[in-house]
Amino acid sequence: MGYKVAVVGATGNVGREMLQILAERSFPADEVVALASERSVGQVVSFGEDDELRVQDLSRFDFKGIDIVLSSPGAKVSAAFAPRAAEAGAVVIDNTSQFRMDPDVPLVVPEVNPGAIAGWCKKGIIANPNCSTIQMVVALKPLHDLATIRRVVVATYQSVSGAGKDAMDELFTQTRAIYVNDPVERKKFTKQIAFNVIPHIDSFMDDGATKEEWKMVVETKKILDPKIKVAATCVRVPVFIGHSEVVNVEFERPITADEARRALRAAPGVSVIDHRVDEGYVTPVEVAGEDNVFVSRLREDITVENGLSMWIVGDNLRKGAALNAVQIAETMIRDGHL
């Protein structure tokens, strides 16, 4: 017996990726429904290589009979519809920031804290973490198990697809404008993104951090360990797909780069590409379309006791969003929650 699945935000970057991944992984669905805002009603979206779905109106949709909702429509929309879908009997796996820090909503990365899924029954909602948090904690989990992480300092290099399709269009349009000597127009970003980097993602908070940086701090604590101290600086870069992170980690106990490399190679969802030669590392171009989180440039940091530095790269639309949500649903089925 298959499940009835609704994908909310089906016309967005993540929603389209959710549909693609459901088809790729032969998810056991008897029916898949594509939902979006009223302005997208009637559009056709791809489901796998051969099938298409016609978009229906989220505001008018009756969730009765739907088993699983994969959601990525924006926080305000999720706040309005997710409780309604849960009340109708669906499990909502939400990719927005709306429910992540709700104590009654589990925040889950299946390779890291699958046991937290059991808390879904409190509100019928499971939160998908922030894209940058996901790829970082997937890599940190086996190292934390090995030597206990004390402190993490991370700088991100986040692609424009994390800000949506309009952001991708703006990078393309600005790049073309520069080459043909046209005026460069800014709509989505606070500064020119083409041939530039912007140390500002989401809104600023009172302490000078951005909301994106705050998310990485509090989400890491909720998913991995509340004792871990995290300092984050999040930067938008002119890359279409793929987030990268420079991560410096301080541990409670001694750990060598070789020990860390072995632990990472044995960990689920991690690929280690770490050769100290030209091209012996991974960049965002290579990880687009890949499911795993990739670790390169792993080395010991001699400036602190028990320190390591590494380079972590992942496809932000897949493992950073859509794939993680589908994996949560797969884990629920495997463990008998559905």
- Residue 156: helix, strand or coil by DSSP? strand
Query: Residue 242: which region, alpha, beta or left (left: phi > 0; alpha: psi -120 to 50)?
Result: left
**Residue 43 annotated as lining a ligand binding site:** no
**Residue 307 annotated as lining a ligand binding site:** no
Catalytic option among 144, 234, 243, 337: 243
**Residue 161 annotated as lining a ligand binding site:** yes
Please state, in angstroms and as integers, the Cα–Cα distance from residue 196 to each residue in 145, 155, 193, 236, following that order: 38, 16, 5, 9
Instruction: Identify whether 234 is a catalytic site residue.
Output: no
Instruction: Identify whether 131 is a catalytic site residue.
Output: yes
C-alpha Rg value of the chain to the nearest Å: 20
**Residue 158 annotated as lining a ligand binding site:** yes
**Residue 103 annotated as lining a ligand binding site:** no
**Residue 162 annotated as lining a ligand binding site:** yes
**Residue 14 annotated as lining a ligand binding site:** yes
Q: How many CB atoms lie within 10 A of CB 239?
A: 22
Instruction: Label the pairing between strands 270-272 and 243-251.
Output: unpaired
Please state, in angstroms and as integers, the Cα–Cα distance from residue 251 to each residue in 211, 218, 233, 301, following that order: 26, 19, 20, 11
**Residue 13 annotated as lining a ligand binding site:** yes
**Residue 236 annotated as lining a ligand binding site:** yes
Helices (H), ranges, the chain: 13-24, 75-87, 131-147, 165-179, 211-223, 257-266, 284-287, 323-334
Task: In the chain, count H helices and then E strands.
Answer: 8, 14
Catalytic option among 131, 144, 234, 337: 131
Tell me the sheet residues that pair with 149: 251
Residue 22's φ and ψ, nearest 5 degrees, are -55, -45
Exposure b/e, 262-286, CB count within 10 A at least 16 = b:
ebbeebebbbbbbeeeeeebbebee
**Residue 129 annotated as lining a ligand binding site:** no
> Which contacts (CB < 8 Å, 24+ apart) does range 51-60 have?
51/23, 53/10, 53/19, 55/10, 55/11, 58/8
- Residue 164: helix, strand or coil by DSSP? coil
Binding-site residue set for substrate: 158, 236
Binding-site residue set: 11-14, 39-40, 100, 158, 161-162, 183, 236, 316
Active site residues: 131, 243
Binding-site residue set for phosphate: 100
